[in-house]
Structure 1
Amino acid sequence: MELAFSGLRVVEIADDPAGEYAGKLLADQGATVVKVEPTGGAASRHIGPWANGTEDPDHSLNFWTYNTSKQSVVLADDDQGRAARAALIAEADIVLTTGRPVDLATAGLDLEGLCAQHSKLIALSISPFGLTGPWANYLSSDLVGLAAGGLLNSCGYDDHSIPPIRPGGNQGYMTAASFALCGVVLALIERQQTGRGQLVDVSMHESIAVTGELANPYWFYPKAVVKRQTCRHAQPSPTQSALFQCADGVWVYFALILADQFAWKALTSWMDEVGLVADLAEGAFDSLAYRQENFAHIQGLLEAFFMIQDSETVYRDGQKWGLPIGPLRAPEEVLRDEHLAARNFFVDVTMADGSTTTFPGAPYRFSNGYGDPHRPPMLGEHTEEVLSHD
């Protein structure tokens, strides 16, 4: 089966999740991604947790997460290693880096020079603040990226006496990786038309700055500052709670938009079916102004309504009534999610020792076929094969 990136050759020189995940997205869909690692292995290999409690570079679950389907080549940072790296880049369609300008200079990587030397090469740089500007050589992390990009200030709780809360899942790095994939695809399309590659400069800072949801337009136009709110969109003024606890102790998310007349009618019909509509079916509540004036009363009835039902019933019945509602899943529950199982999202991957490990599958589907992840490489596993081939 021909995959989206089959035939592309990528040299990855990346040491953070943004670059490694961008490389994984290319590799899982058919690109040959050669991950160049230092003698001791990439930094991600030395971060736990560890498979089976084996603390070594080949059992890092952190490394496994971001490096499926790749080849591993170990090169020393000396003249011989740099010469071998240069030979790999000369045969590549894409070279992927994550260093700041100062890091690239120290490593002897001149991306503009490489593009000039190899006219078809696409140099994909994913860095904290981009390759130019006063912050170009500043250090960063996922947390710093979210903070500097403005997104962190919208994340947290109603209680503003405590600081913002960082969302999990390396959201800053993942956002940069997603934009990097878009950028490199655009560069590949242009190369098809012109025959020439180019430097693609992706800044995590800029990637986050354009994902601030309502914060930017609220400030640009009415000059209003959004305020973080517990498990709901940040707004200039507080909105009603959207979390409700069910009889089984599970919380569900349901944001009642009072101005939505369809949602109001659906909700009251559902509550009537359960026998807890009380006075909400009275004609006075057809008025948006009246609902707003009496929202505390509505909220109290909603809390009782959800508390007498289990979360699975609430989820299915709410969806049946056409209402956007869903339970708060724990990560281990997502692994057992019936919908993901029906779509075969999680896949079993055979590891180097013959054991089987479950991995998340592709984040997109193509009608002409798409790839699943293959096992991450052992440290230096492909060094001899790749270097002898090139």
Structure 2
Amino acid sequence: MGDPQNGALGGSAARQEPSGGGPRGPLFGLRVLELAGEFTAYPGKLLADLGANVVVVEPPGGAAARGRAPFVESTPHPESSIGWRHYNTSKRGIVLDLATTVDSEPTGGDDGRGGDGDLGRFERLLADCDVLLEGWPAADTAALGLDPARFTQRYPSLVWTTVTPYGRAASGPDRPVTDLTLLAGAGPVLSCGYDDHGLPPVRGLGGQAVHVGGSFAVAATLTALLYRTRSGRGQHVDVSVDAALNVTCELATTQYLADGQLVSRQTGRHATASPTNQTQVRAADGQYVVLGFPPRTAARYAALVEWIDELGLREAFPDVVLLELGVERGGVSIVSLGTDPLAQPIWDASRAAMMLLAEHLPAAEFFLGCQRRAIVAGMVASPEEAIRGPHALAREFAVELPDPHTGRTELHPGAPYRFGRTPWRISRPAPRLGEHTAALLTAGWDAG
């Protein structure tokens, strides 16, 4: 195993790691074995793009994710799944049949450790690894002799992170799941939808179960690695996607546990026990904008009055006098709404003014106009609008990734954070099926 007192969260900085050129990321030196699966790809990507040396282990024929649409140019092929290509950047790939114990045609690289066959080769890679990332049911790993209790004794500094729907012991083929069933069963779906409860709840798209569970898995793994730097000991980290989703229910779970109240879903705003004011407004160009908190300071009220006058809307909005009163009074605090008889009318007028402005302006113009005036608001943007929007462009968020295997240059979403000294980056495209198998079996972790 790697020296737990050295390098990035226990990964030895002295190791000769394949970096693909360029600056080292914050997790440089960390070695991660990822058993390819539905819930391991995203946390593996997060670690790999931060500089960890991640090797994804696929079965013969490839991971199931390679067969999932959509595909590049709508052509089904193991190398053209867009999901595979996105969630496996910066990784190397190896094909191992972990169900075999003895080779019919031995491959070079055996040194007597871990037995024969691909399971033995897997254990030899594991012997000098910092993190094992897997999402298989306990029965499946036990059948292969992959048991956290045994492995944490055999490899005492290993951090073994399991990401499964309901926790390792409770997950299995008898409890099949989809993104929809996980989000529904854990609670988020009940909080998402419309004021009209005759309409069904709404599941947020984008594979949220995978992303939420993966984010918690990375946070928990890094915490375990920090513990290892002090103690020298690894541990098993068991992540339940169901539990991870439940703790993201904002006040829905907490409010029920604290005082027995149930929240109700609302159109485009937080689910609450008591209804709140409308926030979604159709702008002049037909797109929707989302209003946040109304202004609270005198400067923001003055900015609203100035904006209304600039657009010549004063006559269309008689309540501008209430906005001017808000300026004179120095703004309106939330606390004063229940005690000051004038506070609520001023507050309501400010929201009505924002709705009026939104209805007379294109969505993007309203959104940017609010930002220039430090007024909380947003616009409902498509993914392509968001990634090419002014904020994303200013941050250079989108990343161009040349793929030497296909000759394509792909555009990938970047990171939501920046490091001043150890930058995040995509170091290589997703591996082709078995691309690094021979090199890893011959040279191990030091393979280029």
TM-score norm. by structure 2 comes to 0.80
**Inter-partner Cα distance in structure 2 for 1:268 and 1:218:** 38
Are residues 1:6 and 2:17 paired? no
Once the two structures are superposed, the pairs formed by residues 240-279 of structure 1 within 5 Å of their partners are 240-257=277-294, 260=296, 266-277=303-314, 278-279=317-318
Q: Which residue, out of 15, 27, 41, partners 1:20?
A: 41
- Equivalent position of 1:102 in the other structure: 139
- Equivalent position of 2:11 in the other structure: none
C-alpha distance 187-227 of structure 1, shift in aligned 2 (>3 A):
same
Q: In the TM superposition, what is the alpha-carbon distance from 1:143 to its structure 2 partner?
A: 1.9
Amino acid at match of 2:429: R
**Which range is displaced more, 238-247 or 299-308?**
299-308
**Inter-partner Cα distance in structure 2 for 1:252 and 1:146:** 26
Residue-by-residue CA offset, 1:216-245 (whole Å, 9 max, x unaligned) = 332233422111111111111222211112
Q: Which residue, out of 314, 319, 331, partners 1:280?
A: 319
- Equivalent position of 1:311 in the other structure: 363
Are residues 1:41 and 2:62 paired? yes
- Equivalent position of 1:371 in the other structure: 424
Residue-by-residue CA offset, 1:274-328 (whole Å, 9 max, x unaligned) = 3334221335975955675799987766544322222232122212222111221
- Equivalent position of 2:114 in the other structure: none
- Equivalent position of 1:320 in the other structure: 372
Contiguous gaps of at least 5 residues in structure 1: none
- Equivalent position of 2:9 in the other structure: none
- Identity across aligned pairs (percent)? 35
- Equivalent position of 2:17 in the other structure: none
* 3-state SS, counterpart of residue 29 of structure 2: coil
**Inter-partner Cα distance in structure 2 for 1:203 and 1:97:** 12
Contact in 1 for aligned 2:319/2:349 (Cα 8 Å): no
Q: In the TM superposition, what is the alpha-carbon distance from 1:255 to its structure 2 partner?
A: 3.0
**Inter-partner Cα distance in structure 1 for 2:258 and 2:161:** 35
Contact in 2 for aligned 1:38/1:75 (Cα 8 Å): yes
C-alpha distance 253-234 of structure 1, shift in aligned 2 (>3 A):
same
- Equivalent position of 2:52 in the other structure: 31
Are residues 1:342 and 2:364 paired? no
C-alpha distance 156-371 of structure 1, shift in aligned 2 (>3 A):
same
* 3-state SS, counterpart of residue 193 of structure 1: helix
**Inter-partner Cα distance in structure 2 for 1:134 and 1:327:** 39
**Inter-partner Cα distance in structure 2 for 1:297 and 1:261:** 14
**Inter-partner Cα distance in structure 1 for 2:123 and 2:172:** 28
Contact in 2 for aligned 1:101/1:137 (Cα 8 Å): no
Are residues 1:74 and 2:95 paired? yes
Are residues 1:126 and 2:163 paired? yes
- Equivalent position of 1:388 in the other structure: 442
Amino acid at match of 1:360: P
- Equivalent position of 2:263 in the other structure: 226
Q: Which residue, out of 393, 403, 415, partners 1:362?
A: 415
Amino acid at match of 2:436: H
- Equivalent position of 1:200 in the other structure: 237
- Equivalent position of 2:189 in the other structure: 152
Contact in 2 for aligned 1:34/1:70 (Cα 8 Å): yes
Q: Which residue, out of 222, 238, 243, partners 1:185?
A: 222
Q: In the TM superposition, what is the alpha-carbon distance from 1:137 to its structure 2 partner?
A: 6.7
Amino acid at match of 1:366: F
- Number of aligned residues: 388
Contact in 1 for aligned 2:183/2:209 (Cα 8 Å): yes
C-alpha distance 106-292 of structure 1, shift in aligned 2 (>3 A):
farther
- Equivalent position of 2:13 in the other structure: none
C-alpha distance 140-381 of structure 1, shift in aligned 2 (>3 A):
same
**Which range is displaced more, 122-131 or 138-147?**
138-147
**Inter-partner Cα distance in structure 2 for 1:137 and 1:192:** 39
C-alpha distance 201-268 of structure 1, shift in aligned 2 (>3 A):
same
* 3-state SS, counterpart of residue 279 of structure 1: coil
Residue-by-residue CA offset, 1:235-272 (whole Å, 9 max, x unaligned) = 112222111122222211113448x4655565445334
- Rg: which structure is higher? 2
**Inter-partner Cα distance in structure 2 for 1:154 and 1:206:** 16
Q: CA RMSD in A?
A: 2.5
Q: In the TM superposition, what is the alpha-carbon distance from 1:102 to its structure 2 partner?
A: 2.3
Residue-by-residue CA offset, 1:126-168 (whole Å, 9 max, x unaligned) = 1111124699973323222222221111011112112211101
Residue-by-residue CA offset, 1:41-60 (whole Å, 9 max, x unaligned) = 11111101111233111110
- Equivalent position of 2:108 in the other structure: none
Amino acid at match of 2:42: Y
**Inter-partner Cα distance in structure 1 for 2:138 and 2:162:** 10
Amino acid at match of 1:62: G
Q: In the TM superposition, what is the alpha-carbon distance from 1:354 to its structure 2 partner?
A: 2.8
**Which range is displaced more, 89-98 or 216-225?**
216-225
C-alpha distance 161-379 of structure 1, shift in aligned 2 (>3 A):
same
Q: In the TM superposition, what is the alpha-carbon distance from 1:116 to its structure 2 partner?
A: 1.0
Contact in 1 for aligned 2:294/2:350 (Cα 8 Å): no
Contact in 2 for aligned 1:130/1:136 (Cα 8 Å): no
Contact in 2 for aligned 1:44/1:62 (Cα 8 Å): yes
Are residues 1:92 and 2:129 paired? yes
Residue-by-residue CA offset, 1:304-355 (whole Å, 9 max, x unaligned) = 4322222232122212222111221111212322221221111111112232
**Inter-partner Cα distance in structure 2 for 1:55 and 1:133:** 34
C-alpha distance 297-132 of structure 1, shift in aligned 2 (>3 A):
same
C-alpha distance 290-367 of structure 1, shift in aligned 2 (>3 A):
same
Amino acid at match of 1:270: W
**Inter-partner Cα distance in structure 1 for 2:93 and 2:431:** 6
**Which range is displaced more, 90-99 or 264-273?**
264-273
Contact in 2 for aligned 1:9/1:32 (Cα 8 Å): yes
Contiguous gaps of at least 5 residues in structure 2: 1-22, 102-116, 327-331
C-alpha distance 181-299 of structure 1, shift in aligned 2 (>3 A):
closer
